[in-house]
Amino acid sequence: MNKLIAPSVIAADFAILGKEVQDVKDAGVDWIHVDVMDGHFVPNLTMGIPSVQALSKIDPPPMDIHLMIDNPEEFAELFIKEGSPHVKLLTIQVEACTLLHNTISNIKSQGVMAGLALNPATPLNVLDQVLPMLDVVLVMCVEPGFAGQKFIESSVNKIKQLRKIIDSMEPDERPLIEVDGGIKLNNIKKVSDAGADVFVSGSGIYATDNYKETVAEMRKLIGS
């Protein structure tokens, strides 16, 4: 599978969000990453169901929805429904969900990919009982909650360790490794070499002058 690039729309200009989404679509991205924050699980409020509904009306790239909220099991199905048919992946935080097996199964039953995100300090062993169920493991490379943070360098070793674990699994059970937080042109190759498959980049794309050139350069660096 080719490596994928997913701009995080939290870093876009919300005054012209529709245009910003279309511009990265024209730049040839694979997905768009939609950060949903509730002000409880993380200290920030961002996009919600109305935003996902609005995005679904403008023929966006496949949506990669990341729920950084308390009680994600109560809202996962609703986000999928309201973003249909454009929701490709729905990811929940392992730290926020006490019903992991049920929630992951429910997400997959809606016909979308199921992802599980780990904060920087969360060890990989939390995945032991659910890893074969997952389509994506999202390694957070910054503390969740705000765009524009500096990449945490220890994330590289975490990605390498996860790559070894996944490569030891049966081929049809291997989830993708997604990375989010501080991903830019100056470090995307290092993260790719560590074993990542999907690259979320907010300001690394949206803070540049030419999205198409930035995405093309990222593809060269990751060999996609």
Number of folded domains that form the chain: 1
Q: Which of 35, 38, 135, 197 is catalytic?
A: 35
Residue 126 belongs to domain with CATH number:
3.20.20.70
Domain that holds residue 64: 4-222
How confident is the model at residue 44, as a pLDDT? 84
**Alpha helix ranges (H) inside the chain:** 17-26, 49-56, 76-83, 100-109, 155-167, 188-194, 203-206, 211-222
Mean pLDDT of 167-175: 94
Q: What is the predicted pLDDT for the residue at 189?
A: 98
Contact by Cβ (8 Å): 132, 165 = no
The predicted pLDDT at position 29 comes to 98
Rounded to an integer, the average pLDDT of 150-167 is 97
Is residue 86 a contact partner of residue 56, using CB atoms and an 8 Å limit? yes
Phi then psi dihedrals of residue 108, to 5 deg:
-65, -30
Say whether 59 is catalytic. no
Band of pLDDT at residue 146, cut at 50, 70 and 90? confident
Place of tokens 């060999």: 223
Give me the chain's average pLDDT, please.
95
Q: Distance between CA 182 and CA 184 in Å, rounded?
A: 6
Instruction: Name the DSSP class of 134.
Output: -
- The CA distance from 89 to 77, in Å, is 12
What local confidence, expressed as pLDDT, does residue 208 receive? 97
Q: Is residue 1 very low, low, confident or very high in pLDDT (cuts 50, 70, 90)?
A: low
Question: Does residue 180 have an active-site annotation?
Answer: yes
Choose, from 30, 38, 135, 180, the residue flagged as catalytic: 180
> Does residue 188 have a pLDDT over 90?
yes
Digit-coded pLDDT (tens) for 61-80 = 999 999 999 999 999 999 99
What are the tokens at 9? Answer: 């729309």
Query: What are the strands, taking DSSP E only, across 3-86?
Result: 4-7, 32-37, 63-68
pLDDT class of 98 with cuts at 50, 70, 90 = confident
- Which tokens hold the place of 196? 């990542």
CA dist 159 and 139 (Å) reads 7
- Report the C-alpha dihedral over residues 126, 150, 194, 107, rounded to 10 degrees: 40
pLDDT recorded at residue 156 = 98
Backbone phi and psi for residue 5, each to the nearest 5 degrees, phi listed first: -115, 130
Tell me: the pLDDT tens digits for 12-47?
999 999 999 999 999 999 999 999 999 899 888 888
Q: How far apart are CA 15 and CA 214, in angstroms?
A: 22
pTM of the entire predicted model: 0.96
Query: Has residue 148 got a pLDDT over 80?
Result: no
Residue 169, pLDDT score: 95
